[in-house]
Amino acid sequence: VFLTVAFLWSDNHFVFAQNAVTRNEVVVDFPNTVTFELELAEGTGVVNAVLTYDVDRFSCLDVASTVPLEVEGNQVEWEWVLTRSGNLPPGTTLWWEWTLIDANGNETVTPRRTITLMDDRFAWRQLEADGVHLYWYEGDAVGPLLLDAAVSGLDRLEAEMSIELQDDVQIFIYGSSEDMREALLYVQDWAGGAAFPEYNTILMGVPPRLADSWGLEVVPHELAHLVVDQFDRSCVGGSRPTWLDEGLAMVAEGEPNADILADLAEGINRDAFEPLRSLNGAFAADHDQAGMSYSQSYSVVNYLLDTYGAEKMQELLHVLADGVGYDAALAQVYGMNVDGLETAWREAIDAPMRRIPPTPTPLQAAAVPTYALSGLPQTVPTPPAAAEPPPETAVTSSPSLGICGLGIVLPLLVVVGASWKQGHRGAQRKRRDSQRGRRK
């Protein structure tokens, strides 16, 4: 899909530029390329042009890109190939300007122009509340329903942790995971969403029939990740353990549902919890085990909030953002390391005590900065229900699975845990139903 945006030229402060430039356009082929096109009037004497452009995003090293170009005839064109530089999410604001250079070395800078890049395959509808801008195109009730879920999640974060949204966020709700994946350059075929923290943007594939179930959980969950990211942005190499990241996001979902409570009961009764230290990094790919990890993470974070309060949690997030290791950060704030926290938490919920080795091997979630620029959006599976066709259709699809993620521009990927809990819940229910059948 090609979108051509033309800008008519008029600025009394740049008389030469006004007379020299007859056309200044960008042609957007979302999400693949952005082509900058400049046409000059005959006899301007311009021999070289330098294109300067950038996008609005959070960056520790926010330096605009420049491209020196020769003027051939009276036209200049340069194509920004996003398959090489990285995916831009819809809603990204792009600005650009040209420096025109004549044969004597005289320079004139054209007025800066901007455009908002959109996935124009769809007629987007928009709602906004409390700094959340939600876009959707399918299902009249989907937008209001999911915007309300997002705002409710923000309210819970503020009430539970005194963490507020720092910058406006954009949430794009696609009518299917397939539609969403076509907006991304690098994405697994099971992905149901992607998040771009430095752009404060989330993409999700939420079919209208799942909006009032899975959608009500995943929207506040993923929004919580962005809010926490904004709260403790770091340029010094800080990161958070996955159990903390996912536990905070699950708190934003609201009261634990029956599946989480069942996981916790099983963890206590069967001594099925993982060592908390093992949850510093990525969760297991197995649905059941990953689901238990999410539930355990929720319980640990809930314990910290109930026992020590929101101020201590904020302090922990800031200490981690400063680049302090997980054990040292916990010791500084709570007076115990990861293993000490696990022991205290197990005691609080009456779970069996675990024998902890005296010299555990440290495990960090990632060896790269939380806010390093990254080259690929991180994506997470959609729930199985989202991949199944409606009963009246004959279409078949591969089951996919939830969403937690990140994303973009330069080749350094930051890895965060994936939200497998929805797929786990379906498998968990089937397992329990099967067990009931055997007992009969």
Q: Report the C-alpha gap between 280 and 241 in whole angstroms.
A: 4
**In this structure, what are the phi and psi dihedrals at residue 334, rounded to the nearest 5 degrees?**
-110, -10
> pTM here?
0.76
- CA 221 from chain center: how many Å? 11
Let me know: does 329 contact 320? Beta carbons within 8 Å: yes
E-only strand ranges, 56-131: 65-70, 75-81, 92-102, 107-109, 113-117, 125-129
Q: Report the C-alpha gap between 256 and 339 in whole angstroms.
A: 25
Let me know: does 190 contact 381? Beta carbons within 8 Å: yes
What pLDDT tens digit does each residue of the chain (440 aa) get?
444 444 433 344 345 656 789 999 999 999 999 999 999 998 888 999 999 999 999 988 878 999 999 998 899 999 999 988 888 999 999 999 999 999 999 999 999 999 999 999 999 999 999 999 999 999 999 999 999 999 999 999 998 888 999 999 999 999 999 999 999 988 777 777 888 999 999 999 999 999 999 999 999 999 999 999 999 888 888 899 999 999 999 999 999 999 999 999 999 999 999 999 999 998 887 878 889 999 999 999 999 999 999 999 999 999 999 999 999 999 999 999 999 999 999 999 999 999 988 755 555 544 333 222 233 344 444 444 443 333 333 333 322 333 454 333 322 222 233 334 444 544 454 444 444 343 33
Spell out the residues 6+ positions from residue 159 whose beta carbon is closer than 8 angstroms to its own: none
Let me know: does 157 contact 317? Beta carbons within 8 Å: no
Domains and CATH numbers, the chain: 2-117 (2.60.40.10), 132-439 (1.10.390)
Q: Report the C-alpha gap between 160 and 200 in whole angstroms.
A: 22
Q: Report the C-alpha gap between 247 and 300 in whole angstroms.
A: 7
User: Is the previous residue joined to 31 through a cis bond, with omega within 30 degrees of 0?
Assistant: yes
Spell out the residues 6+ positions from residue 175 whose beta carbon is closer than 8 angstroms to its own: 122, 136, 137, 138, 139, 205, 206, 207, 208
Q: Report the C-alpha gap between 160 and 304 in whole angstroms.
A: 11
Tokens of 161: 């942790």
Sign of the four-CA dihedral 140, 141, 145, 146:
negative
Let me know: does 263 contact 291? Beta carbons within 8 Å: yes
Place of tokens 């959070």: 58
Angle at 366 between CA 91 and CA 353, to 5 degrees: 120
